[in-house]
Amino acid sequence: MPRTASRTGTHLRHPSRRRPSPRPHPGARLGRVIVVRTVPAIRAAVADARASDAAPVGLVPTMGALHAGHRALLGAARAECQTVVMSLFVNPAQFGEAADLGAYPRDEAADLAAAAAAGVDVVFAPPPDAMYPAGFQTWVDVERLGTTHEGAHRPGHFRGVATVVLKLFNIVAPDVAYFGQKDAQQVEVIRTMQRDLDLPIRLRVLPTVRDRDGLALSSRNARLSPDERQQALALPRALATRDPVEARRILETAGLQPDYVEVLDFDPPVLAAAVRVGSTRLIDNVVLESSSTESSSMSERPTAEARPT
């Protein structure tokens, strides 16, 4: 790939051919993926990439348990960026209950293999104390938005999300960061933080990837029994009506009591709902308006639902 391509903004068909410089990193390699676990090591890896003109740098934040939704973000990053960094960090600060954090699925070997297959250049997989060292006490609170809907049901969740995402932005310093529309309020929180704190990072939001039966992919789906999964299908069916009254009726008929099912005035507006199926809490949303023009602002919006590839 010609070096001038990134300078001129030429669309890159095969940017994976360009890699950060081969200088040894204080990290392990899995195939061509560099795995780093400390803040200085990821900074050095990104600095090397920039020094060898392997920009733009794209960041895909994840908590692992990778599925086709994550792979869609990684695929977009690979197609659009010279260097792709994936973070792999189950962020304790965004979990309310210790049990929920403890039950979160973890399979680092599988996630690193998936990252390698997706053409990721560098995986940043820090231990918790690299992100939250002793004495940590500085938090980002997106005040109003962070306490509504998901935030009302999961107090402190978005404070944990905003804080870890700002830390990742500061640590990796990407040009572009990739998020899923599946977590619409998370996107709105990050977009608000980006605007309020003047963060010089472009946000790319990719459509929700769904299973063939319509259920939005989520690492939590693995916890559903076959019967619960059938019941959970009322969620995408309800949202597909794009009508909050009808959606609530469908959910209640299926025996599901939504925490909320509401039109949220986000960018773009969505019909969003959260339900508990057995002990598993599921969230989902559908976009109510597709963006007719490509956003000229620093962020770009999703336009359509996606099926797993």
70 is catalytic: yes
Site string for ligand AMP, 112-141 (x = CB under 6 A): ------------------------------
Asked whether position 209 contacts ligand AMP by CB under 6 A, the answer is: yes
Nearer to ligand AMP, 5 or 130 (CB): 130
Asked whether position 69 contacts ligand AMP by CB under 6 A, the answer is: yes
Interface with ligand AMP: number of residues (CB under 6 A): 17
Catalytic residue among 14, 25, 67, 70: 70
Asked whether position 72 contacts ligand AMP by CB under 6 A, the answer is: yes
Question: Nearest distance from residue 261's CB to ligand AMP, in Å?
Answer: 19
Site string for ligand AMP, 166-195 (x = CB under 6 A): -------------xx-xx------------
Helix/strand/coil (H, E, C) string of the chain? CCCHHHHHCCCCCCHHHCCCCCCCCCCEEECCEEEECCHHHHHHHHHHHHHCCCCCEEEEEECCCCCHHHHHHHHHHHHHCCEEEEEECCCHHHCCCHHHHHHCCCCHHHHHHHHHHCCCCEEECCCHHHHCCCCCCCCCCCCCHHHCCHHHHCCCHHHHHHHHHHHHHHHHCCCEEEEEHHHHHHHHHHHHHHHHCCCCCEEEEECCEECCCCCECCHHHHHCCHHHHHHHCHHHHHHHCCCHHHHHHHHHHCCCCEEEEEEECCCCCEEEEEEEECCEEEEEEEECCCCCCCCCCCEECCCCCECCC
Asked whether position 224 contacts ligand AMP by CB under 6 A, the answer is: no
Question: Nearest distance from residue 7's CB to ligand AMP, in Å?
Answer: 29
Asked whether position 217 contacts ligand AMP by CB under 6 A, the answer is: yes
Q: Which position's Cβ is nearest ligand AMP? A: 180
Asked whether position 62 contacts ligand AMP by CB under 6 A, the answer is: yes
Which residues participate in catalysis according to the annotation?
A: 70
Interface residue list for ligand AMP (CB under 6 A): 62-63, 69-70, 72-73, 179-180, 182-183, 206, 208-209, 216-219
